[in-house]
């Protein structure tokens, strides 16, 4: 076991209530540390003390380190007024609680400095709280919300959960704004306990509720990029000249006679990956993954490159895309359109009949896509609905399916994790309004293409790893301890368990066991939350979920900047530069890659947050206008002091049942076990329970939906032995079947082309 894993075990052990501080040698005996493990154990003890997560007490005993008297960190506010500080330097006691009256006017995302003090013990563990004494740096200065006129005052109610109070603005007539408009406000005075927030309207976005205004709002709120600079557009137009493309063909491997196809969503505008499969006489199979050669058209240091680096990625909002590259590239010469000659970078992977990789190579190629298929079309062909599809395309699809199933079987055997989480698609009318939410297509062709993209990403990473060059990897670290925290508590409630040192095979077995069961969603969601997010970094730590030792992103340079850096390294590899010290010195340094990975990760998280926000707003608006009072099935996803969170099966958004809206009883919350318990009746509602609920109200600014309980198919009755420490009263709900008005409108399902590769 590594010293890192020992550190986690040590922290878990000395954090237990009732732990009596012991010297390191005694602690090793108590923890059953083997003699051959003592070296790593002592290294872990020293590392914990060096990083401030543990301390050496009197008589050289190991104990938890208390937070320093002053901490600096990021503040996260709760709508009820209190909040928490996530310290820059972690300590074993976790986040620092900040009471409502001690927040000092800090908002979510602010970096703050706070004084820390003890606030007593609970279950044998010391608790700490803090008082914010200074705001080091504001996390946000511009807010977006609805303009309202109240008496003689003009107010803007900010959207989202960063600021929960209105911002006072001056006369909006200078900007032509009127009540009900969505506006962007620059904060001039942040709120304090003594004064209200004040700001200035900097932009009028349009009437609230307009789909285009939703997009403009999120662009302003998240400071997403807008139009491309003129120089970038000029360079892009120069790059796509025919003579520039034609001159590059002769130096490439010519694959124009090879049967190559693309498989994408129905409304995809750019096609940056294509597939070929060749059966060899010796029984091996060669997979070809052909990726648009974006690096040929985007030289390092060019205006296009600088802008692409700044953006980091394309942002995919419902029914709208903010591209990383100008469309003359992404939808033109870098799009592998059928029957068009295109430049590509191809990864060729040769497999044994059992799917074992025998050989890998990469090449600069020229291809001509034979056919463009959607996922649904490809699945129909595999199901026998051939239509007018040519024999060579049908043969290729069948070979692709067979190979993908072989690869997937091999990857599962090696420990790849497959989470089973529901997904949905938004259906828009011609004006951009969401008129329905439907289950996402789950054709096997999605899995087939994903397997090929994962294999290509891994194959390229292996080649670069073998050269010893530093490169930007896609890393997913192994969880510190899956048996800790919310996952293990949830599993115990549901009658499942993971061992303290659970490996991927045990996690796989758990996921397989709950597949298709009522608890599948909360278990899969809890497993996802227990793992760290994948990130971009040059560290060779592998990809835990994919069971891959070396992994990078190679397959989508149109929409991800990290992929573009990999394509440039492939050029250096093919030119032989990576074999020489001078050539390797010309590649990005470790520090450059660390900085780039952090930047791309930040841009990725911002894009994902923006997408979630627009999607949630549009779904909640659909619910507000069409489904108020209607009843839906849902599953309990969480419990809190305010009530029970339930995700509605149809919409995949959470609603909140306040305790006042639960059946008449005194309800006690056991957040650690994920359960609320009726004091008089003994009835329990747990995470994972299926409920029938009624939609009561929607509040778009705070992205909140309130629901009431109609029926609990799985209510449990248990006798409780002791009175809970706290409780909350509830009322009886009335079973009234709501009638939702359904508009008949011309609809089109829009599936944003987010594409493949993890």
> Regarding predicted confidence, which is higher, 11 or 309?
309
- What is the tens place of the pLDDT at every residue in 464-487? 999 989 999 999 988 866 655 567
Q: Which tops the pLDDT comparison, 193 or 695? A: 695
Average pLDDT over residues 670-691: 82
CA 560 to chain centroid, in Å, comes to 15
Taking alpha carbons only, the member of 637, 638, 658, 623 closest to residue 728 is 658
Indicate whether 102 pLDDT > 80. yes
* Strand spans (E) along 52-100: 54-56, 61-64, 70-77, 83-87, 96-98
381 DSSP 8-state letter = H
Q: What is the mean pLDDT of residues 235-245?
A: 81
- Per the structure block, which two tokens stand in for 631? 């009843």
Give pLDDT, residue 749: 42
Considering only CA atoms, give the Rg of the chain: 28
pLDDT digits (tens, 9 = 90+) for 380-431: 999 999 989 999 999 999 999 999 999 999 999 999 999 999 999 999 999 9
- Quick check: 434 and 254 in contact, CB under 8 A? no
Question: CA-CA distance, 167 to 155, in Å (whole number)?
Answer: 6
Q: How many CA atoms lie within 13 A of 172 on its CB side?
A: 28
Whether the per-residue pLDDT at 246 is higher than 50: the answer is yes
**Residue that wins the pLDDT comparison between 448 and 72:** 448
pLDDT (tens digit per residue) in 598-656:
999 999 999 999 999 999 999 999 999 999 999 999 999 888 878 899 999 999 999 99
Give residue 30's Cα distance to chain centre. Answer: 39
Q: What per-residue confidence (pLDDT) applies to 465?
A: 94
Confidence at residue 54, expressed as pLDDT on a 0 to 100 scale? 76
**Mean pLDDT score, 205-215:** 92
Read off the pLDDT band of 67 (50, 70, 90). low
Of 8, 1, 7, the C-alpha closest to 481 is: 8
Apex CA 314: angle with CA 309 and CA 318, to 5°? 160
| pLDDT score at 580 | 85
pLDDT at 517: 83
* Residue-level pLDDT at 235: 94
What is the Cα–Cα distance from 346 to 365, expressed in whole angstroms?
6
User: How much of the chain exceeds pLDDT 90, in percent?
Assistant: 54
Residue 596, pLDDT > 80, answer: yes
| Through-space distance between the first and last CA atoms of the chain, rounded to whole angstroms | 28
For residue 16, the model assigns a pLDDT of: 63
Contacts 24+ apart (CB under 8 A), 688-691: 688/490, 688/493, 688/494, 688/518, 688/519, 688/521, 688/522, 688/523, 688/635, 688/636, 689/518, 689/635, 689/636, 689/714, 690/518, 690/633, 690/634, 690/635, 690/714, 691/633, 691/634, 691/635, 691/636, 691/646
Q: Is the pLDDT of residue 557 over 80?
A: yes
Name which residue leads in pLDDT, 156 or 682. Answer: 156
How would residue 89 be classed by pLDDT, with cut points 50, 70 and 90? low
Q: What is the mean pLDDT of residues 47-76?
A: 74
Answer yes or no: is pLDDT of 196 > 70: yes
Pairing assessment for the beta strands 320-322 and 315-317 based on DSSP bridges: antiparallel
101 compared with 474, residue with greater pLDDT: 474
Whole-model pTM? 0.82
Residue ranges and CATH numbers for the domains of the chain are: 3-64 (1.10.10.10), 70-137 (2.40.50.140), 142-208 (2.40.50.640), 230-475+538-612 (no CATH), 485-531 (no CATH), 628-729 (2.40.50.140)
Q: What is the model's pLDDT at position 4?
A: 63
Per-residue confidence (pLDDT) for residue 491, from 0 to 100 = 83
Looking at residue 697, its pLDDT comes to: 96
Whose tokens are 């557009």? That residue is: 233
Q: What is the pLDDT of residue 558?
A: 95
Average pLDDT, the chain: 85
Cα 224 to Cα 185, 207, 216, 623, 754: the distances in Å are 16, 20, 10, 27, 17
What was the pLDDT predicted at 328? 92
Give pLDDT, residue 105.
84
């Amino acid at each position: 076991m590594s010293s890192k894993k020992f550190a986690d075990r040590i922290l878990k052990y000395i954090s237990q209530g009732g732990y009596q501080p012991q010297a390191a040698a005694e602690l090793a005996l108590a923890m059953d540390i083997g003699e051959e493990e003592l070296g790593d154990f002592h290294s872990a003890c020293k590392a914990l003390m060096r990083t401030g997560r543990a301390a050496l007490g009197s008589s050289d005993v190991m104990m938890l380190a208390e937070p320093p008297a002053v901490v600096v960190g990021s503040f996260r506010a709760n709508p009820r007024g209190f909040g928490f500080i996530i310290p820059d330097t972690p300590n074993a006691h976790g986040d620092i609680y900040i009471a409502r009256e001690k927040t000092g006017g800090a908002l979510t995302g602010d970096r703050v400095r706070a004084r820390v003090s003890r606030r007593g013990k609970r279950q044998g563990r010391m608790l700490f709280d803090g008082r914010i004494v200074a705001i080091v740096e504001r996390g946000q200065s511009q807010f977006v919300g609805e303009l309202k006129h109240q008496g003689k005052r003009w107010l803007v109610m900010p959207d989202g959960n960063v600021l929960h109070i209105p911002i006072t603005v001056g006369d909006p007539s200078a900007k032509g704004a009127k009540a009900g408009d969505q506006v962007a406000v620059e904060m001039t005075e942040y709120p304090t306990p003594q004064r209200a927030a004040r700001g200035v309207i900097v932009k009028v976005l349009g009437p609230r509720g307009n789909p285009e205004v939703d997009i403009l709002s999120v662009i302003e709120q998240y400071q997403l990029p807008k139009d491309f600079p003129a120089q970038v557009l000029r360079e892009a137009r120069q790059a796509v000249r025919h003579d520039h493309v034609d001159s590059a063909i002769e130096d490439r491997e010519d694959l124009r006679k090879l049967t190559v196809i693309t498989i994408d969503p129905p409304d995809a505008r750019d096609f940056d990956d294509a597939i070929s499969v060749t059966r060899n006489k010796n029984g091996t199979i060669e997979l070809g993954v052909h990726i648009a050669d974006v690096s040929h058209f985007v030289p390092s240091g060019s205006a296009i490159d600088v802008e692409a680096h700044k953006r980091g990625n394309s942002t995919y909002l419902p029914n709208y895309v903010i591209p990383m590259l100008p469309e003359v590239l992404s939808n033109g010469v870098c799009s592998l359109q059928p029957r068009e000659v295109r430049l590509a970078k191809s990864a060729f992977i040769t497999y044994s009949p059992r799917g074992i990789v025998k050989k890998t190579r990469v090449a600069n190629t020229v291809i001509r896509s034979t056919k463009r298929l959607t996922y649904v079309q490809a699945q129909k062909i595999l199901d026998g609905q051939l239509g007018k599809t040519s024999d060579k395309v049908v043969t290729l699809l069948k070979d692709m399916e067979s190979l993908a199933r072989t690869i997937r079987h091999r990857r599962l055997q090696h420990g790849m994790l497959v989470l089973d989480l529901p997904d949905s698609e938004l259906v828009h009318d011609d004006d951009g309004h969401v008129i329905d939410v439907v289950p996402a297509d789950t054709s096997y062709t999605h899995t087939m293409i994903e397997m090929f993209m994962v294999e290509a990403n891994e194959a390229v990473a292996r080649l670069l790893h073998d050269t010893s060059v530093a490169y930007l990897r896609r890393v997913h670290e192994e969880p510190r301890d899956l048996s800790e925290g919310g996952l293990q508590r949830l599993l115990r409630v549901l009658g499942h368990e993971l061992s303290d040192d659970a490996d991927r095979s045990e996690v796989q077995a758990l996921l397989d066991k709950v597949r298709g069961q009522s608890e599948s969603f909360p278990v899969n969601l809890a497993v996802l939350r227990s793992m760290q997010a994948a990130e971009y970094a040059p560290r060779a730590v592998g990809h835990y979920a994919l069971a891959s030792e070396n992994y990078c992103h190679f397959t989508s340079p149109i929409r991800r900047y990290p992929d573009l850096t990999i394509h440039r390294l492939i050029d250096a590899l093919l030119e032989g530069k990576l074999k020489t010290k001078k050539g390797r010195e010309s590649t990005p340094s470790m520090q450059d890659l660390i900085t780039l990975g952090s930047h791309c990760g930040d841009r990725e998280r911002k894009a994902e947050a923006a997408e979630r926000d627009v999607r949630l707003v549009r779904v909640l608006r659909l619910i507000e206008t069409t489904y108020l009072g209607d009843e839906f099935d849902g599953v309990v996803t969480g419990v809190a002091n305010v009530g029970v969170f339930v995700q509605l099966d149809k919409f995949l958004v959470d609603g909140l049942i306040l305790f006042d809206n639960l059946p008449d009883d005194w309800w006690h919350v056991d957040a650690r076990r994920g359960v609320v318990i009726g004091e008089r009746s003994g009835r329990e509602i747990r995470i994972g329970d299926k409920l029938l609920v009624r939609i009561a109200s929607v509040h778009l600014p705070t992205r909140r939906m309130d629901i009431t309980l109609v029926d609990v198919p799985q209510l449990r009755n248990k006798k409780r032995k002791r009175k809970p420490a706290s409780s909350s009263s509830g009322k009886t709900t009335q079973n009234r079947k709501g009638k939702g008005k359904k508009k008949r409108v011309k609809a089109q399902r829009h599936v944003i082309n987010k594409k493949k590769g993890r």
